[in-house]
Amino acid sequence: MAIDWQAFLLTTQLAGLTMVILLIVATPLAWWLAHSRWRWIGWIEAVVALPLVLPPTVMGFYLLLLFAPGNGPGAWWFSITGQPLNFSFTGLVIASVIYSLPFATQPIQAAFSGVSRGVLEAGATLGASPLDRFFRLVLPLSRRGYLTAAVLVFAHTLGEFGVVLMIGGNIPGETRVVSVALYEAVETLNYGSAHTMAAILLGFSFIVLLAVYGMNRRFSFRLGPGV
């Protein structure tokens, strides 16, 4: 009963990189969504949330076309690197970032919206610059949102199948992630390996969620109700 540990390592690298990128990218986007009064802001929120309801294969299909060497971003990337985005780890990262965007943006946006305007005004009264207020007041008060976003993105990327299969295929050591390896094991009737990989993913997901809920409870007790 062989377990594809290389697929686990690649999946962990993909999930970790996607999480870091999205925590950076989602921060200014979530701040803008939380505070903008632009009349068309609902359109942007709908676009950001689209991966929540769009079938993964649909998004994977359109990304597959965009990443092709003869089209837009794919052609630009190919002209610079000489390598296609499709069926590459870089392509997987970009696709994962796009598909997991709402899982990072929405928790952070909710955390930003929950920061009292009075706290920011008090900071401004004391002479803190906008950046100081953001890093010293907003970020500490929004840490639960960041924690939730990090866990959701990491866990979602671990289990993603449709998009990664469409964009990356099944290249060992390059694009073969755990979900694809699990599917291949089932397809070849290798149920022993499939059971083991599925059990590892199930156990890891449960432990991560348990840890997150525990940390959120501790934050609630420390900060008090309503924070």
Residue whose C-alpha is closest to residue 58's, from 98, 20, 85, 14: 98
Q: Kindly compute the dihedral angle of the four CA atoms of residues 84, 96, 34, 141, in this order, to the nearest 10 degrees.
A: -130
Longest dimension (CA), the chain: 67
Residue whose C-alpha is closest to residue 143's, from 204, 58, 216, 90: 216
SS3 label, residue 195: helix
Torsion sign across C-alpha atoms 188, 193, 195, 199: negative
Mean pLDDT rounded to a whole number for the chain: 87
How many Cα atoms occupy the beta-carbon half-sphere of 98 within 13 Å? 19
Asked whether the predicted pLDDT for residue 213 surpasses 90, the reply is no
> Per-residue confidence at 227, pLDDT binned at 50, 70, 90?
very low
Q: What's the pLDDT score for residue 146?
A: 93
Q: Percent of the chain at pLDDT above 90?
A: 41
Q: Token match 């993964």: residue?
A: 56
Instruction: Report the pLDDT averaged over residues 61-78.
Output: 90
Across 41-171, the runs of DSSP E, i.e. the strands, are none
Distance CA 164, CA 185 (A): 17
Report the Cα–Cα distance between both ends of the chain, in Å, rounded: 49
Chain CA centroid to CA 114, Å: 22
Distance CA 200, CA 157 (A): 15
Q: pTM of the entire structure?
A: 0.87
Distance CA 9, CA 123 (A): 44
Q: What's the pLDDT score for residue 45?
A: 93
pLDDT digits (tens, 9 = 90+) for 19-31: 999 999 999 999 9
Give Rg (Cα) of the chain.
20
Instruction: Report the pLDDT averaged over residues 77-93.
Output: 91
pLDDT digits (tens, 9 = 90+) for 90-111: 999 999 999 999 999 999 999 9
Distance CA 210, CA 213 (A): 5
Distance CA 26, CA 93 (A): 15
